[in-house]
Amino acid sequence: MKRDTILTIRLPLGSGFENYAVREPKSFSKPQRPFTRKALAAAHVVADPLSAKEPWLDAAVDWDATIAYRRHLWSWGLGVAEAMDTAQRGMGLDWPSSLQLIEKSVEEAKRVPGAEVWSGAGTDHVSNASLDGVIAAYEEQCAAIERLGGRIVLMASRALVGCARSPDDYARVYDRILSQVREPVIIHWLGEMFDPALEGYWGQRDHYAAMDACLGVLQKNKDKVDGIKISLLDKDKEIAMRRKLPKGVRMYTGDDFNFAELIAGDAQGHSDALLGIFDVIAPAASHALSALASNRNSEYHEVLAPTVALSRHIFRAPTRFYKTGVVFMAWLNGHQEHFVMVGGQQSARNILHLAELFRLADGAGLLSDPGLACARMKQLLAVHGCA
């Protein structure tokens, strides 16, 4: 059934404007049973707009609004991947602030039945380190998370790229860290499209050669690895690696372009999910995963199809600026009272990009309060001289 038009808003389009018709939001159902896929949303942080800190230099976080957003994600049956790149980790959010975030999120999860949190451990508090320095940095962050009772996502390391000379150097670091962790971890291979400083990870510039190096680490340490999340935005590479994983090791899709297809899977397997886009589309993702769990496959694809178009727009090149779209959506939907970001990154996308994001979010039925979304969009347009 075609959704009814309820509002119109004047939006920029190319070099001119259009009167865009906003429609009723879709109705999404919260889960009544567990999903058949593990689903984690990499969650953003809410900046404190009234902080006296300089936004390009220091992270100022509104902790209450940030933790409230985690409760929103948990309410839809999604787990939280904490202090990841979606939270601007290493791109505005430093390690001390990240650890504070992890502590608050882990503690809040204890108050929410069924809430799940996995937290990023990396090396972002060091630079120009030796291999031993990288190992020590990983050990420090892993130990800090474990002291809080947290589960670990072992993040890719810029410092390791800087000092490693071969795939064997990567194997040495990962073997050492994985030998010490208390519980199996998720390893995150973040591609250079998300962070240019990570080009050549695993000691190889060719992704398939890098894949082989990574698989060697996974095979040797499979009892200490819950899964691998790859963020290469290439479904064929993910499927190829998925089919080679050691038994019991999950593939967590980090492909924000093709996630619906990869989660659905094929006759040889499927991917679980650890996605930044799930921060944006939590209600639709939850509803779709419930449909998949009940073998309502057509409904699963029908719900997610328009969110894929939205995600491809949010994550378009330069992909590292996707976080601007994530926070913009949270503001439109009333989860935060401002469109301000850590590091001042609300300026990373242009107004035409944000206007198209508004249209695609409406098309996916994800503007939960169209009146509020329109009012806030008009505010932003006025700031850009488009009133």
What is the CATH classification number for the domain harbouring 249? 3.20.20.70
pTM (global) more than 0.85? yes
CA distance linking residue 191 with residue 210, whole number of Å: 11
- The pLDDT, as a whole number, for residue 6 is 78
Please check whether residue 254 lies inside any domain of the structure. yes
Residue with tokens 């038994």: 247
Please check whether residue 354 lies inside any domain of the structure. yes
Q: How many domains does the chain have?
A: 1
Please check whether residue 19 lies inside any domain of the structure. no
Q: How many angstroms separate the Cα of 109 from the Cα of each of 69, 78, 116, 252?
A: 12, 12, 7, 22
Please check whether residue 9 lies inside any domain of the structure. no
Per-residue DSSP letter, 4: P
Please check whether residue 291 lies inside any domain of the structure. yes
Buried b / exposed e across 272-298, counting CB within 10 Å, b at 16+?
bbbbbbbbbbbbbbbbbbbbbbeeeee
> Which among 148, 46, 64, 59 has a CA at the least distance from the CA of 103?
148
Q: What angle do CA 144, 147, 149 make, to 5 degrees?
A: 115
Contact predicate 252/273, CB 8 Å: yes
Containing structural domain, residue 350: 26-383
Please check whether residue 77 lies inside any domain of the structure. yes
- The pLDDT, as a whole number, for residue 241 is 98
Please check whether residue 340 lies inside any domain of the structure. yes
Please check whether residue 311 lies inside any domain of the structure. yes
Residues with pLDDT less than 70, the chain = 1-3, 5
Buried b / exposed e across 67-76, counting CB within 10 Å, b at 16+?
bebbebbbeb
Give the chain's length. Answer: 387
Tell me the two tokens of residue 231.
Answer: 């963020």
